[in-house]
Homo-oligomer: A and B are copies of this chain.
Amino acid sequence: MVNVMPLEAMPVSPPAVAAQFALLADPLRLRIVESLAREQLCTCHLIAITGAKQTTISNHLRILREADVVLGEAEGRFTWYRLAPGAFAEGLRRLQGITKPGEATPRLRPACAP
């Protein structure tokens, strides 16, 4: 038996989720992701939007591509990028779990007897 748990129910280990947040932890990469969430764009657009150098943009796009959160489709001389479906879904779920409680956090255990 390898794994009978449905994908959605399978817990994602902290390292994997942290890696998703790490993708959003850079200001420039965050702007790229937020831009691609609105519309498809090619590299040159992102260069114009962000004001960053071509090499820098290309680098971040590779990072996002290798993390499977953006998809690049070569079309002639251009490469159109868009957000991968379901990208950051797990990160969103975890963040909702963190923020949700809202109420005062309970103190469930006595001081220091792990």
**Residues from chain B with Cβ under 8 Å of A80 in the complex:** 107, 111
Indicate whether A36 reaches chain B with its CB closer than 8 angstroms: yes
Judge whether B78 and A88 touch: CB under 8 Å. Answer: no
Judge whether A88 and B99 touch: CB under 8 Å. Answer: yes
Indicate whether A59 reaches chain B with its CB closer than 8 angstroms: no
Q: Give the docked Cα–Cα distance between A82 and B102 (Å).
A: 12
Q: Which of B14, B94, B99, B105 contacts A36 (CB 8 A)?
A: B105
Judge whether B92 and A96 touch: CB under 8 Å. Answer: yes
Contact string, A76-105, partner B, CB cutoff 8 A, digits 1/0?
101010110101110110111111111001
Where the two chains meet, the residues of A that have a C-beta atom closer than 8 Å to any C-beta of B are: 14-15, 17-19, 21-22, 24-31, 33-34, 36-42, 44-45, 47-49, 75-76, 78, 80, 82-83, 85, 87-89, 91-92, 94-102, 105-109, 111-112, 114
